Amino acid sequence: MSEHKIPPVQAAGFWQGAKDSQAIIFTYLPVSFAFGVSATQFGFTPWEALFLSCSMYAGASQFLVVALLGSGTSIWMTALTVIALDIRHLLYGPALQNLIQDKLDLKKTAFWAWGLTDEVFASGMIKLSQRRQEWSESWMLGVSLFSWMSWALGSFLGGLFADQVSHLPQFLQAALDFLLPALFLSFLLAAFEKKHTLIVAVCLIVSAIACYFINLSAAIFIGILSGILAGLFKHYILKQHDDEFGEAHES
């Protein structure tokens, strides 16, 4: 009788992370290019756009920075506004750590956590929830570093070639607008499991209402909070226990 031994799954390394960051790179390049164009329109140089992207790496909030600074808002008010917009990032570390569960090398973590944007977080979360054994800090560093470089490069190129955008075919210009929604739907499809149905439904509805009546950043935060409440409601009121929580409940 032959015994089949399943070979241990090898953790993905830095270059695999770089390869897996492709989806983010293809989305970041045009979006950050648009940031570079916007910065130039507000009177910033390409080098200043590059500096802002490298130093704050704040995604969509950077559009607000150039608009606020360009309209004469004080640097403190600008900084506080952007910090308030990005406060949701505080939730990402605990959420990932909950899935990682191993001890981290804090020096390495500091490098990849620097690049823990919404998209990098989503990518890491999908890896951890579906192929936890393949996840490694080196893989995360690859995803994070290449995403950051693409964001910085796109901003610089946008600043340099701001006046060339209008020469692109119109359908390509339109296509760029849809990259972010498409990326997030891809992440949602990749991360979705049947057990998430209630959380996703509640989040979509609540964040849409918050987006309509309040503002974008509040909508993400309120959406996440409603998702947490939906998860707790499902466990404690509906008594639908997911495997991992069910085990923890019994222990």
Partner 1 sequence: MNLEIILVGIIVGIANFASRFGPFYVIQKHQQNSQKRGSVWIKIALGSIGIAAISSMLVVATLPPLMETPNKSFAMLVGFLTLAGLYFKFKQIVPATLTAALAYGLVYTYLPFSF
- Applying the rule CB under 8 A, the residues between 81 and 120 that interact with partner 1 are 82-83, 86-99, 103-104, 106, 109-110, 113-116, 118
Contact, 174 vs 47, CB < 8 A? Answer: no
Q: Is residue 65 near partner 1 by the rule CB under 8 A?
A: yes
Closest CB 57 distance from partner 1, rounded Å: 7
* Of the candidates 219, 195, 190, the residue with the CA atom closest to the CA atom of residue 205: 219
Main-chain phi, psi angles of 66, to 5 degrees: -70, -35
Main-chain phi, psi angles of 71, to 5 degrees: -95, 10
Closest CB 192 distance from partner 1, rounded Å: 7
Interface positions, 170-189, toward partner 1 (CB under 8 A): 170-189
Measure Cα distances from 66 to 22, 31, 148, 169, 214 in Å: 27, 15, 19, 27, 22
Closest CB 25 distance from partner 1, rounded Å: 9
CA dist., res. 145 & res. 141, Å (int): 6
# residues near partner 1 by CB under 8 A: 102
Q: Is residue 138 near partner 1 by the rule CB under 8 A?
A: no
Q: Is residue 4 near partner 1 by the rule CB under 8 A?
A: no
Choice between 3 and 126, CB closer to partner 1:
126
- Provide the residue type at 86 as one letter: D
Q: Is residue 216 near partner 1 by the rule CB under 8 A?
A: yes
Q: Is residue 11 near partner 1 by the rule CB under 8 A?
A: no
